[in-house]
Chains A and B, each alone.
Chain A
């Protein structure tokens, strides 16, 4: 009986879910069948009619609340928490699929063993946060005579960040190529360019480079705050490095996310990127106190990811792939599109909406979509 409904196009999880529930409350076979019939009807009622202008409806569903959004965009300046771009700028960034997110951020969930105690969480947080040499040093001095950089370490910061001197030396050695790293007896770290032609300029450069040298943590994660969500600790991080963070064993890889769609697609695949787009867009909309049906967001996410790559709604992304010259030209940079089309002699079949609005023909949507074909007996033409 179950297969019968599945074969008729009702999604399997729905059918099985209903049957399971029905069996739990001990319905009879006939009653289950009645329920399944109802389910099938409801499901098919929810179908979108052929010729429905889903694209325009989605665009309007975003466009109308979008006008309310523009006004209250940067209201969150000065909040002590992580400052994340929200509102219309973020939505634009998201749908354009920009590779440089203006405020990269991560939500890092931890393995169960580390979520109870504040102390544990702080330790993991210090593991994740990228520590640069500058943060554990108290003074960078250039010794002009010996042409070397002498660095005094900040013991207190080192203790806070759980870093030993040996570790720092090791990190410096691997981080600074072509530099001799030594530690003098009084604990001062001496950096000396190993190249033959030593000059002061090189030493200056070395000092600046050494300041930014990576010591420990996950690269690109510049700031972390542990926050209690429900009864577990979660680390919010500014900066994004999904691959780096997931490689830590303390992190719960199944729930940790970044707000960078491209990175998600790279590390977790295109389906994850789709989910990420939906999650991020919903976050912005919820934050603004607006209500847009998820299915509109899902539709956009589908469009952006269905080729297997993340593509933005831009002239170089989805819109640029439209078949019609007129449609592309009416979106952005018309001259470029027309010239390129002229160069190769493109043909516009006038199959879609905008083209037909331009030439003023009925658009192939809604009432303009179906046409009547009469089959005539003994027709003489």
Chain B
């Protein structure tokens, strides 16, 4: 006797639970019950759950009957010949989908040769433990799982041909790789996901060695000639948007060349690029603070200013300008309307990004690094056949991370490029490295993929043989051009008089508490003071009462508001933040006094 629940609702009771569950399964398989229905018998509480709701995670499995897989050789042959499809397998009840709870009642074999009479299902393949992006990693079963995670994560950050209609799109922070290539070492997912239609990397020749210390700590060396030939070259797109908003009282924004009378008018040179309609034209090169869309807005507080201000009712400047530190070429201008019928203007800037020192690259195995140097090909090592690597990768990145798959890909890439085929790198069913080695040997190369290299500068033979091969490398979206940040002087905060925060606003780089501790630990006393001088102020202190005195520079007179002019008043230098602290203490009713003493 067991309770039966359909979609979490009690519907009745059954006597023979096993027979009932079997009946439900059989009925589902012959099509009497919907294919989406799953049944689960809870052996602990002796309840039967039938579930047909949306949002359950279900996965396909091959049905097993009497220890025999229902998927036969015949089916696989037909599948290969494209006579039948996945759909047919489901309708023929060779494959069914189980949800998480029905899985609990099943006995699933991992491979066909371990099937017994007790098994109910067979796993389609070991590959299905991997997701879509993870399946794109070749030879993943040779690597460490954590690296595999990172590998699939970095693939999502790679630049490529993300959409074929990118020219008419307005995506924020989009980049296009100029010459994307299909990977030589492939996995089945490359076919399924039509990766060749939107590839996201390039096949490069790599050498596994160090080069003058410029590839320490995961950095890589790029071949300057390769870069100039277009390796990893990309274009960065940045759209700017503005809208003619409508305000209460029938006031509207106006896109056009702003009038000189308006509030916050920029200099004429800033407006030089916009045309009569207030919008810039495609093809013009712009730099930071250039106006690309001229716009004025109505005054913010209508009415109350009118009586007093002479410049009553002036419009405000609200143009769109190029962001701090950015340059680019106007790529496309779009003038349209938004849903409310307001005029909408979008301008897309484009900027060519050739790889530079500091740009991030990664292979598909969680091995990411930044460019440490871009070296002319003449200075790079070359093989006996004159091949110069496009990229030099540090061997120190390998032992602790144990990404064997990275090495096998190099080998497979080498074989692939020599034989003109695409080696199969699908996890668990890849071409074996042993066979790859034999094939490599047949091409007249060393079996282990190593080659004799010659120093590009001196021409001397390198003592060690170097592992050289081809692999797929991706350029990641993190580029120094978007991150580089430095400041000498600039805007400060009103309250603390310390530099403002943020790269986009031209702020400072904070030297935080722990960084301060480093200066202290080094005993670099005066350097520390200098670093914290950003809010340095000179205060005049009345020596009698220890409070702030006043220095009247115009009359060259010092006096204390409390003790008068006949007291000793001396200037001291301290941080404005401390002055603020003292002021705040005063606001709390505490009266801190400064007692001056000669330092010497």
Residues of A within 8 A of B (CB): 51-53, 56-57, 59-60, 338-339, 342, 347, 353, 357-369, 371, 373
Contact = CB atoms under 8 A, between A and B. Distances in A.
Contact of A366 (B516, B525, B535, B578): B525
A338 B584 CA distance: 12
A215 to B, nearest CB: 43
Given A338-B585, A353-B520, A371-B600, A365 B529 contact: no
Given A347-B595, A360-B574, A342 B590 contact: yes
Nearest to A339: B590
A100 B290 CA distance: 66
B146 to A, nearest CB: 14
Interface in B542-586: 573-575, 577-578, 581, 585
A357 B528 contact: yes
A59 to B, nearest CB: 7
Contacts of A368: 523, 525-526, 529
A70 B577 CA distance: 33
A60 B521 contact: yes
B533 interface: yes
Interface string B89-119: 0000000000000000000000000000000
A359 B578 contact: yes
Contacts of B212: none
A360 B523 contact: no
Nearest to A353: B520
A60 B526 contact: no
A359 B523 CA distance: 17
A357 B532 contact: yes
Interface string B498-540: 0000000000000000001110111111101100110110000
Contact of B575 (A360, A362, A371): A360
Given A338-B585, A371-B600, A363 B525 contact: yes
Nearest to A329: B581
A342 B582 CA distance: 12
A359 B574 contact: yes
A319 to B, nearest CB: 16
Given A357-B520, A359-B574, 14 more contacts: A52-B523, A359-B578, A360-B533, A361-B574, A362-B529, A364-B525, A365-B523, A366-B523, A366-B525, A367-B524, A367-B526, A368-B525, A369-B523, A371-B600
Contacts of B525: 362-369
A361 B530 CA distance: 9
Interface residues of B, number: 28
Residue of B528, B532, B600 with most partner-chain A CB within 10 A:
B528
Nearest to A367: B525
A47 to B, nearest CB: 15
Contacts of B529: 360-363, 368
Closest 7 CB pairs of A and B: A366-B523, A368-B525, A360-B575, A342-B590, A56-B521, A362-B525, A359-B574
B517 A59 contact: yes
16 contacts: A52-B523, A60-B518, A339-B590, A342-B585, A358-B575, A359-B575, A360-B532, A360-B535, A361-B529, A361-B574, A362-B528, A363-B528, A364-B525, A365-B525, A366-B522, A367-B524
B520 A56 contact: yes
Contact of B520 (A338, A361, A363, A373): A363
Contacts of B526: 362, 367-368
A60 B517 contact: yes
Contacts of A359: 574-575, 578
Contacts of B524: 366-367
Nearest to A335: B588
Contacts of A52: 523
Nearest to A59: B517
Contacts of B578: 358-360
Contacts of A367: 523-526
A310 B532 CA distance: 37
A365 B585 contact: no
Contacts of A362: 525-526, 528-529
A369 B523 CA distance: 9
A133 B162 CA distance: 76
Contact of B521 (A53, A360, A361, A373): A53
A374 to B, nearest CB: 10
Contacts of B532: 357, 360
A170 B522 CA distance: 67
Nearest to B528: A363
A52 B520 CA distance: 9
Contacts of A59: 517
B456 to A, nearest CB: 40
A367 B590 CA distance: 35
Nearest to B582: A359
A347 B528 CA distance: 25
B213 to A, nearest CB: 25
A231 to B, nearest CB: 39
Nearest to B536: A360
Contacts of A373: 600
Contact of B523 (A51, A357, A361): A51
A368 to B, nearest CB: 3
A50 to B, nearest CB: 10
A357 B521 CA distance: 13
A326 to B, nearest CB: 9
A339 B590 CA distance: 8
Residue of A57, A364, A369 with most partner-chain B CB within 10 A:
A57
Nearest to B595: A347
A322 to B, nearest CB: 16
B521 A57 contact: yes
A347 B594 CA distance: 9
Contacts of A56: 517, 520-521
A359 B573 CA distance: 9
A71 B526 CA distance: 37
A366 B522 CA distance: 7
A203 B535 CA distance: 74
Nearest to B578: A359
Nearest to A354: B520
Contacts of A358: 575, 577-578, 581
Contacts of A339: 590
A99 B178 CA distance: 67
Given A358-B578, A359-B574, A361-B529, A53 B523 contact: yes
Residue of A51, A366, A369 with most partner-chain B CB within 10 A:
A366
A353 B518 CA distance: 13
A164 B578 CA distance: 74
A363 B530 CA distance: 12
A56 to B, nearest CB: 4
A381 to B, nearest CB: 12
A216 B461 CA distance: 82
A71 B577 CA distance: 36
A272 B523 CA distance: 34
A353 B575 CA distance: 15
A52 B585 CA distance: 34
B210 to A, nearest CB: 27
Contacts of B590: 338-339, 342
A359 B590 CA distance: 18
Contacts of A342: 585, 590-591
Contacts of A371: 599-600
Given A347-B595, A357-B528, A362-B525, A53 B574 contact: no
Contacts of A51: 523
B521 to A, nearest CB: 4
B478 to A, nearest CB: 24
Contacts of B516: 357
